[in-house]
Structure formats: structure tokens, C-alpha cells
Structure 1
């Protein structure tokens, strides 16, 4: 029953976003590739790091390079929390426009994640808050100072394991995430974006996994009336390193 609740919430969230759409929509195709590392210190504490490169496909052009680091703590079997930092180097958001410089963004993040296992299903809900510092810039150069805004993100995700053998597994992933901006200068674009993601996740062993998925990102631009509609292919490598042995 809880899984049907997840599907209903996924559908209603997406409908609310579509209702806000305008006519000025820029369609884009992007490839995201990432390496995600989990360094486990014990049963509760871990350090997660992520390297993510995003590349426009039509035309071929760098979009964004991302580095994330966060410490995570498992509160119990259902709840965990994390605090981290991210660095973004933005080459361009429009592949036809290639600036001579990259725009940096520095971002703090805090989240709490709830998980429940229902047979072959795993349901995750993540509530995340971000503090975004984006370097000021014109079309010609970077400026001193930065703009600041808060962003709230809510993601609900379901994983279904349909094959498992010893230390290997194959599962289907489905998620929906919605994001909202909060600041004095974000009156027109409080709604930031909605992301729908589906993927196949292959666990090669206990410590290494591959994931190939499709993500649709529908994002409001700074103007408040224009949107990006992005078709994204995402390839991920998950690598887990344990620094302890179970007793």
C-alpha cells in the first residue's frame, strides 16, 4: 500500500510542475558521468565523495563539472543524515554560447534521509537544504562577490530488486525530485526544477556497482518565464571502501 502512495505522490508532483510550464522552453540533450565513492569508517559513520561531469551532446560542449564531499551518520535502521560541501564549475548552460571563463558555485548542503524496505522494494525519502554562493559575472568576465540563495530539495525514490545472487544484484530505480529557491532575488523563480529519473542498477559485487539511467530535468531559468527541458543520460560508478570489519 505504501508503494502505491509513492506512485501517487510521484504523479501529483509531476502534474503540479507541468501546470507551471510556459511556452519559452529550450530543449537540450546532456550526458552525465559520475564516480561516487563511499568510505565506511564503521557501521554508522562514512565519508562520501562524488565527481560528476556534464556534457552537452547537441552541439558537443562542456556544461558543468562537480565535486561533492559529505560526512554521513546512520541514526538507526531507517534514518541517516549528512552534511557536506560541493563545488561547481559552470562552463555554460547554453551549448551554442561558449564563454571564455567558467563560473564557480560553492554550495553547502544538509539532508536527512528516511528508508524503508518492503520485500523487494526499498523506499527512500530525502529532505535536503542547500546554501548556494554563485560568483557574479557578466557575459565578458567574472565580477567580485557572489549571489546567495537557499534551495530546498525533496526526493522520493523506489528501488526494486528483481535479481540477486550471492554478492551480485540487478535492480530498477525510479525517483522524482522537486526543488525550490528561497531568497530576496528569487521572486519569479521560487520553483527551480523537477527531476524524474529511471535507471538499471547492476551490483557487480559488494563494493562496486554500475548504473545507467535516463533523467528528465524541467528547470525554470533566471528570467522566471523561460525553461530548460533536458533529456539526460546518466552513467554512474559506485565504489564502496570499508575501513572496518563486522564483528
Structure 2
């Protein structure tokens, strides 16, 4: 419990400067990720992201994503077919607009371990059904987790997380955006962990920062 309280203090410290600022270009994302085994090879992916223009209360985007994956090898090399619903509320000439997007996506995740370094590669293809357009986008994500208070990613361990993700359209303009992320995480138990960090996004030659708080749930739906 002392470690959880310490993590809460870190999360509060990350967000406090932006909460009390009258106006800030830094937003906040609150994220839940579920990846639950439904058989020895199959997994159910479920995810909700609540994204704000500021600390809280000014919705930028609500994203709900789900899918079914299959491990090609034991607990690794996962292929997944999924669907995403995206509700966006961008500002257009000071006024808020509302856009709805439906996505179908296919992805492949492979994991590698080098000593204390835990790498993840994710390749994702998205078919995006916008209200007045259709686009296909490719994403490549490279993530790295490093245990800090131990040698392995085990329960009750603090860890550092860094990642980079690039988004590319299959038509012009090719470059969409790039996200660089760094965080401190804590492994609660073998099936749950939490992260608090900062992400910088480059899009249309503009930089925008995001405070991110994520909860990860891997509780299996099967009985061993």
C-alpha cells in the first residue's frame, strides 16, 4: 500500500502544474487496457481511452477498442483482428464539433527479452471509416520496459517504460503523426499494473504534450 500511495503522489505531481494553469497546451489521457486469455491460444483485447484537451472535463476524444487475438507461439507472436469506435470533439474556429469514426484493424505483436530489457514490437493496419472519408493507416510501435526495483518484471516492482510510435497513411500525405512516451510504472500483481507518464505528439508540424495514466488488466477468463 505504501508503494501505491507513492505512485499516487507521482501521478498527482505530474498533473498538478497543468491543473492549476489557467490555460495549457498539455492534455491528459486516462486509459484502461484489458488483455484477457479466453483459451490457451486466444485472447480478448478490450480498451477504453478518455482523452482531454486539459486536465479533465474538456473531452478531446473517446476511444473504445476491442478484438480477438491468437498466439502463434506460447504467449508471444500474437495476431489480432479488432474494431474501434472513436468519438472526437475537435475545436473548429473556437467552436466544438463532433466526429464519429469506425475502425477495423489488424495487428501483430512480438516480444523480445534481452537481460533486463523487455521489448515489444507492434505492427498495426487500420481501415478508418470517417464521416466523409475513408483512409488506411499503418502504425509501428516500439516499446521498452525496464525493471527498476528488481531484475525482472515481477509483482511489486517499479519499472520504466519508453516507447515511440509512428503513423503513416497509405496515400498522400504519408506522414500522419509520431508519439514519444516515457513513464514510471508499478506491477501490482501478476495480472495488473499501472503507469503514469508523459507523451509528446508531433502532428502537422505541431507538438502537443499529454499526461497519461494507464491501468493494465491481464486477468485470464480461463481456469487452469
TM-score by length of 1: 0.74
**2:81 aligned residue (77, 80, 83):** 83
Alpha-carbon distance change, 85 to 51 in structure 1, aligned in 2, over 3 angstroms: same
Give structure 2 stretches of 5+ with no counterpart: 1-23
Q: CA deviation at 1:61?
A: 2.2
Q: For residue 135 of structure 1, give the secondary structure of its aligned residue in structure 2.
A: coil
Per-residue CA deviation, residues 148-177 of structure 1 (Å, 9 max, x unaligned), is 111011111111112249632221111111
1:121 corresponds to: 117
Query: 2:192·2:219 contact (CA, 8 Å) conserved in 1?
Result: no
TM-score by length of 2: 0.81
Per-residue CA deviation, residues 106-127 of structure 1 (Å, 9 max, x unaligned), is 0111111121111211111111
1:10 corresponds to: none
Could you tell which deviates more after superposition, 168-177 or 89-98? 89-98
Whole-angstrom distance in 2 between the partners of 1:96 and 1:211:
33
2:99 corresponds to: 103
- Residue 190 of structure 2 is aligned to residue 206 of structure 1: yes
Q: How many residues align?
A: 198
Query: 2:28·2:55 contact (CA, 8 Å) conserved in 1?
Result: no
Q: CA deviation at 1:94?
A: 5.9
**2:143 aligned residue (157, 164, 181):** 157
1:193 corresponds to: 177
1:11 corresponds to: none
Q: CA deviation at 1:60?
A: 5.9
- Residue 212 of structure 2 is aligned to residue 234 of structure 1: yes
Q: What CA RMSD, in Å, does the superposition of the two structures yield over aligned residues?
A: 2.2
